[in-house]
Amino acid sequence: MEKNFILNTPPPKKKKGISAALKKNILIGLAITAGLLLLAALGFLLYFNAQFSVYQDAQYKFSIKYPKTWRVLPHPQANVAVIFLRPKDTALDTLQENFNLTIQPVPEDIFTLAAFSARIKTQMIAVFGKSIIIVKEKSLHWGWREGHQMVFEAPKPDDLKMTNAWVLYHNQAYIMTFLGSIEKYPHDSLYIDEMIRSLRLQ
* pLDDT tens per residue across span 21-32: 777 778 887 877
Region 64-90: what's the mean pLDDT? Answer: 95
Rounded CA gap, 53 and 88, in Å? Answer: 19
5 compared with 177, residue with greater pLDDT: 177
Answer whether residue 54 shows pLDDT above 80: yes
pLDDT for the residue 155: 82
pLDDT for the residue 125: 84
61 compared with 43, residue with greater pLDDT: 61
Closest CA to 117 of 83, 82, 60, 164: 164
* pLDDT tens per residue across span 132-168: 889 999 999 998 899 999 999 988 778 899 999 999 9
Q: Which residues of 129-143 are buried (b: 16+ CB within 10 A; e: fewer)?
A: eeebeeeeeeeeebe
90 compared with 26, residue with greater pLDDT: 90
pLDDT for the residue 190: 93
Phi and psi based region of residue 94 (left: phi greater than 0; alpha: psi -120 to 50; beta: remaining): alpha
Rounded CA gap, 116 and 148, in Å? Answer: 10
DSSP-assigned letters across all residues of 97-149: -EEEEEEEEPPTT--SHHHHHHHHHHHHHHHHGGG-EEEEEEEEEETTEEEEE
In which band, very low, low, confident or very high, does the pLDDT at 16 lie, cut at 50, 70 and 90? Answer: low
pLDDT for the residue 7: 54
Q: Picking from 1-5, 6-10, 78-82, 161-165, which range would have the lowest pLDDT averaged per residue?
A: 1-5
124 compared with 168, residue with greater pLDDT: 168
Answer whether residue 129 shows pLDDT above 60: yes
pLDDT for the residue 196: 97
